[in-house]
């Protein structure tokens, strides 16, 4: 028999190479783009704007962002809504670790980006990116719902171009 | 000439002043439905008992602390109100007292007002005020491994957070 076209190696490596080098990856990225399910975790007051963004006026469901009442393992996205206290940072990290990969993070509001109003407080984590990698930062105190929606559009653009097996 | 009826606020102040002529330092009506009464911190329990049993102020909404570094004092404010008496339900009486800043000690009012429990714990951890007779005086809000000073005192700085 002719073994010229046969690949020898780990099965996972073979699958990664096939998918990563073929148009299937666009299909996978496309499906990830349209299934951004946010975790329901509220750290501070930006959640009011998040609620406004999730409403029918802006209708983020057309971008696949859907409010689901499922478990953390079904979720893909953490939106860090505002100030992260040191107590909450621990919980936030636990939530992040529980989510299945791929997982994305949006830091919403000045407080989540750089500490904001409370930057020198004794009980605040200034930089959320020390806890986990952040994909999109949304400044503002609080950011408008439109700004948060544009961040989600940015994140979708990022997902569309990313490697499937990063 | 008909006697002008006293408002509820003035009636409350008069009752307190006649009952505790020396413990009440100053009492005034801030505006409608708000009364501030300054008292001597040694008489807290008697005043609280009188407020609850005679006047009907049966719970504490909150206990606030204010740190005056220049005057070397910590001010405690007890916001008291009533559930049980319908005619004074919208009235809030603020009991204000001063404590020395280097050793703030006051009797606990939990035996009178049970809702003061958590508020006293908060004032204890944020301002270092010791409430004598409190059943469970522990930290409430700060980190579990917090061993620093009371963070709301104004001369406490956290240089690692960039405070100067």
| pTM, entire model | 0.78
First-to-last alpha carbon distance for chain A, in angstroms, is: 36
CATH of the domain at A133: 3.40.50.12280
Query: Residue A91: which domain range?
Result: 11-161
Q: Would you place residue B155 in the very low, low, confident or very high pLDDT band (cuts 50, 70, 90)? A: confident
Decide: A151 and A7 in contact? Cβ < 8 Å.
no
Question: Which residues of chain A neighbour B151 with C-beta distances below 8 Å?
Answer: 122-123
Q: Looking at the complex, report in whole angstroms how far the Cα of residue A160 sits from the nearest Cα belonging to chain B.
A: 38
Residue A124: inside a domain, yes or no? yes
For B61-104, what is each residue's pLDDT tens digit? 999 999 999 999 999 999 999 999 888 888 999 999 999 998 99
pLDDT value of position B66: 94
| Interface check B5 vs A, CB under 8 A | no
Residue A5: inside a domain, yes or no? no
Q: Do B162 and A119 touch (CB under 8 A)?
A: yes
What is the secondary structure of chain B as a DSSP string?
-PPPPPPHHHHHHHHHHHH-TTTEEEEEEEETTEEEEEE-GGGHHHHHHHIIIII---EEEEEEEEEETTTTEEEEEEEEE-SS-GGGTT-EEEEEEEEESSS-EEE--TTT-TTHHHHHHHHHHHH--EEET-TT----SS-TT--S--TTSTT---GGGT--
Parallel/antiparallel/unpaired status of strands B73-81 and B59-68: antiparallel
For B113-150, what is each residue's pLDDT tens digit? 999 999 999 999 999 999 999 998 888 888 888 888 88
Residue A6: inside a domain, yes or no? no
- Compute the half-sphere exposure of residue A26: CA atoms within 13 Å on the CB side of its CA: 2
Q: Domain B24-142 has what CATH class?
A: alpha beta
Number of domains in chain A: 1
How large is the ipTM? Answer: 0.70
Please, which residues have CB within 8 angstroms of residue A54's CB and are 6 or more apart in sequence?
Answer: A60, A65, A67
Measured in degrees and rounded to the nearest 5, phi and psi for residue A109 equal 90, 160
| Interface check B1 vs A, CB under 8 A | no
Q: Do B158 and A120 touch (CB under 8 A)?
A: yes
Residue A3: inside a domain, yes or no? no
CA A131 to chain centroid: 14
Whether A2 has a pLDDT exceeding 60, the answer reads no
Tell me how far apart the alpha carbons of residues B73 and B62 are, in angstroms, rounded to a whole number. Answer: 20
């Amino acid at each position: 028999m002719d073994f010229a076209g046969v690949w020898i190696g780990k099965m996972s490596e073979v699958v990664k190479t096939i998918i990563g080098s073929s148009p299937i990856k666009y299909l996978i990225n496309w499906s990830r783009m349209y299934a951004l399910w946010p975790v329901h975790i509220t750290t501070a007051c930006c959640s009011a704007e998040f609620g406004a963004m999730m409403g029918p006026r802006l209708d983020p469901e057309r971008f696949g962002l859907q409010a689901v009442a499922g478990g953390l393992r079904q979720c893909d996205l953490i939106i860090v809504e505002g100030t992260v206290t040191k107590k909450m940072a621990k919980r936030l990290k636990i939530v992040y670790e529980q989510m299945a990969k791929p997982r994305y993070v949006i830091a919403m509001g000045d407080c989540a980006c750089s500490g904001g109003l409370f930057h020198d407080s004794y009980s605040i984590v200034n930089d959320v990116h020390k806890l986990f990698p952040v994909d999109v930062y949304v400044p503002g105190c609080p950011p408008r719902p439109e700004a948060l929606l544009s961040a989600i559009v940015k994140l979708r653009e990022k997902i569309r171009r990313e490697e499937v097996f990063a | 000439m008909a006697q002008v009826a006293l408002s509820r606020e003035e009636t409350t102040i008069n009752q307190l002043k006649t009952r505790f002529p020396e413990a009440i330092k100053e009492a005034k009506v801030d505006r409608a439905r708000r009364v501030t009464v300054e008292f001597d911190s040694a008489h807290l329990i008697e005043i609280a008992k009188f407020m609850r049993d005679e006047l009907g102020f049966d719970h504490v909404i909150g206990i606030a602390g204010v740190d005056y570094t220049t005057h070397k004092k910590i001010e405690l404010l007890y916001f008291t109100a009533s559930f049980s008496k319908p005619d004074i339900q919208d009235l809030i009486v603020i009991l204000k007292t001063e404590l020395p800043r280097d050793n703030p000690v006051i009797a606990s009012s939990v035996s009178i007002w049970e809702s003061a429990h958590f508020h006293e714990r908060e004032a204890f951890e944020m301002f270092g005020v010791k409430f004598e007779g409190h059943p469970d005086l522990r930290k409430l809000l700060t980190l579990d491994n917090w061993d620093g000073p009371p963070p709301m005192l104004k001369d406490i700085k956290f240089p690692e957070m960039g405070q100067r």
